[in-house]
Chain A
Amino acid sequence: MNNFRIIFLGFILTFASAWVGLAMLPSRHFATLQPVPDATSGAELPPLLDPLAQRGARVYLANGCVYCHSQQVRTADAGSDIARGWGERRTVSRDYLRDQVAVMGTMRTGPDLSNIGVRNPSDSWHLLHLYNPRLTSPGSTMAPFPFLFEKVKAGPQPRADALSLPAEERIPGYEVIPTDDARALVAYLKSLRRSAYSLPEAPLPED
């Protein structure tokens, strides 16, 4: 094999075959996928994110949540996802139709978040958990996000949005309040409710 033209043609053909098969075809395959109307309300599924949750999705990307948290629920034969209560049905491709970046994830240092908004819809829990995960979940190794919060001087009246910290975490004379980014992130997490609706190809189990 001393003819570089033939060798070069080989480089191109071997690579191009997989390029078509694994990059171009999947992109086309999903291009026709559309939202479906909900059987009862007629609203489109999956639902659109509101602007605050959309901003929260960007906070999720910027801070690399995907490196520890997946967002995919697999069928029972693939793993314990459903048995662990991470979702009532498997997630399907239509579930990711609204995502700017589909963060399905490849690692579960932390639990799956496909349905964290169903499992835990409490604002105050999420805010406290983001500020210091060990306050709500002893033993957690999750990164704390103190930089999503502000320390403000306490006024005569306690602020409504201040975190209710346990005594040993409080800073005398100060209150800790969430930034807009923290609120947005919580709005996004609460929007992750894929088991809240059925899709034709992945109905919720009837019980």
Chain B
Amino acid sequence: MKTASLPYVEHHRESLDQGVHLRIEVDRAARAPITAFFVTAVFWLLLGSMLALVASIKLHTPGFLADAAWLTFGRVRPAHLDTVIYGWCSAACIGVGLWMTSRLCRAPIRHQRLLLGSALLWNIGNAMGLVGVLGGWSTSVEWLEYPPVAGLVLMAAFVPVMIEAVSMVRRRQPGHVYVSQWYILAAFFWFPWLYATAQVLLFWHPAPGPAQPAVNWWYAHNTLGLWFTPVGLASAYYFIPKVIGKPIHSYYLSMVGFWSLAFFYAWNGMHHLIGGPFPAWLISVSVVASLMMFVPVITVAVNHHLTMRGNFDALRWSPTLRFVVFAAMSYTVVSLQGSLTAIRSLNRLTHFTHYTVAHAHLGMYAFVTMMMFGAIYYIVPRLTGREWPSAAAIKAHFWLCGLGVILYWVGLSIGGFKQGLALLDESIPFMEVVKRTLPYLELRSWAGTMMTLGHIIFAWSLWRVLTRRTPATGKATLLAPQAAALT
């Protein structure tokens, strides 16, 4: 396809000598701020995983760590959610998004100090939020539990990110605008808009009580849809062609995928409130928009699959590709599952159950988090000039987290399904419903332990790289060097 190869040619023109120098310059300029975002993100990932484990264990063993107010379930659970959403995922997305923008615009990052300040402020905001939630100042608004003052700090921290993104776009070298750039730039504007709207309508100038859940779920669903998803998909569009050395299959499909996502995803969210006291149109519009998500999801899945076709062998040796392809496939599954769950008849069964929690982890973990792992495996050696310490560690990380999240999702989905069936049958006493979920909640704690072990291994690898205890770049740490040599 002639048209399809165009972006590739533009995109890979940098393989010329001049391109190599520019790439080195771009990575050098990105080094301090992007590393700062990644390192602190991994710190929050570890802390957030510990909070998750504590919360998970409490759900089947309620006496566990029950004496202290700050460790009660209702504080630890939101502390887990917010630290992994803002401390880990968002910081990783800022780092990955800025780095890709810099590479794709061929414009080195200019405001290093400003961005370092932003990273510092982002962490201060998260620390304030964590102390607030554990200390008893949680707002109890899902996904927005941090006290509003911490939200203010997070918003201030995001301003330099937007400034740098616009600055790089304005300095971009002439040529094609690759699809990853649209996604990232859009996400960098949608997220603050979403977040500020939610803060104003829920805390500063609160909407009437009955309207609050609508604003809440519009925010929560679209933080995934219009912030994490675009950066995640931008990464898939960037790293799959990069690693296999082949252009994205179709430029037109990528356009359709982007604009249909922009149009339909923003109208999602109200399907979390099915059955609740809201106007019928409000909920129906989100159910329809949810189903329309089939368009961008299938478009993107087909495009990525056709790009990968004939190159699946590369999964054997490339750490980045393994994580990215796992994440991209999870995106397809979680999105189709989400669309179906929005249908009223299925939602009747899954609403108010652990099924939704399993679904959320398929999205935020199997898709977003695994995508960020893959991106970080690619980017960090280029920022630091150091290779990863061990292929075995990367493999262990992949299998612990990959199998862990599959076990989590499958187990808790079944548990949630059974819980939903039992809840609908009023002849089953409530305590019996609780009892039926217990084995699945215990299984979830084991799955979470696997994932946490994976994170510890990942953090160890990153630590070795940053303390310069690993070889200088040259011979990449591949998962199966022999296989790589053959391709």
Contacts and interface: CB of A to CB of B under 8 A. Distances in A.
A100 B206 contact: yes
Interface in B157-205: 169, 176-177, 182, 185-186, 189-190, 193, 197, 201
Interface residues on B, range: 35 or more
Interface in B198-223: 201, 206-215, 218-219, 222
Interface in A35-69: 60-68
Given A11-B185, A19-B197, A144-B66, A63 B177 contact: no
A66 B78 CA distance: 11
A61 B21 CA distance: 55
Nearest to A63: B74
B423 interface: yes
Interface string B67-90: 111001111011000000000000
B190 A30 contact: no
Given A18-B266, A64-B73, A27 B275 contact: no
Contact of B207 (A12, A26, A66, A84): A26
A111 interface: yes
Contacts of B437: 109
B214 A22 contact: yes
Interface stretch (A135-143, A152-160, A162-170): A135-143
Contacts of B259: 10, 14
Contacts of B121: none
A140 B140 contact: no
A64 B75 contact: yes
Nearest to A27: B207
A62 B137 contact: yes
B431 A67 contact: no
Given A2-B177, A15-B262, A21-B267, A80 B426 contact: yes
A29 B210 CA distance: 10
B452 to A, nearest CB: 21
Contacts of B431: 137-140
A183 B169 CA distance: 58
Nearest to B270: A22
A63 B272 contact: no
Nearest to A111: B430
Contacts of A140: 62, 431, 434
Given A23-B197, A23-B215, A102-B213, A143 B282 contact: no
Nearest to B274: A78
B384 interface: no
B410 interface: no
Interface in A64-108: 64-68, 70, 72, 74-75, 78-80, 83-84, 90-108
Interface string B274-298: 1111110010011000000000000
Contacts of A61: 138-140
Contact of B208 (A33, A60, A67, A143): A33
B67 A146 contact: yes
Contact of B275 (A79, A145, A146): A79
Given A19-B193, A21-B285, A67-B78, A4 B169 contact: yes
Contacts of A133: 62
A93 B277 contact: yes
A72 B277 contact: yes
B425 interface: yes
B156 interface: no
A145 B351 CA distance: 27
A202 to B, nearest CB: 9
A27 B285 contact: no
B246 interface: no
Contacts of A22: 214, 218, 266-267, 269-270, 282, 285-286
B59 A97 contact: no
Nearest to B133: A64
A49 to B, nearest CB: 12
A182 to B, nearest CB: 12
B456 interface: no
B434 A30 contact: no
B248 to A, nearest CB: 14
Nearest to B352: A108
Interface in B44-98: 58-60, 62-63, 66-69, 72-75, 77-78
A70 B425 CA distance: 18
Nearest to A76: B426
Given A29-B279, A62-B137, A101-B141, A14 B209 contact: no
8 contacts: A22-B214, A22-B266, A64-B140, A74-B275, A79-B275, A101-B141, A102-B209, A134-B62
Given A72-B277, A79-B348, 11 more contacts: A4-B177, A22-B266, A26-B278, A30-B209, A72-B276, A79-B352, A99-B212, A102-B210, A107-B352, A109-B354, A143-B72
Q: Which 4 pairs show the lowest CB-CB distances between chains A and B?
A: A64-B74, A18-B266, A93-B210, A78-B275
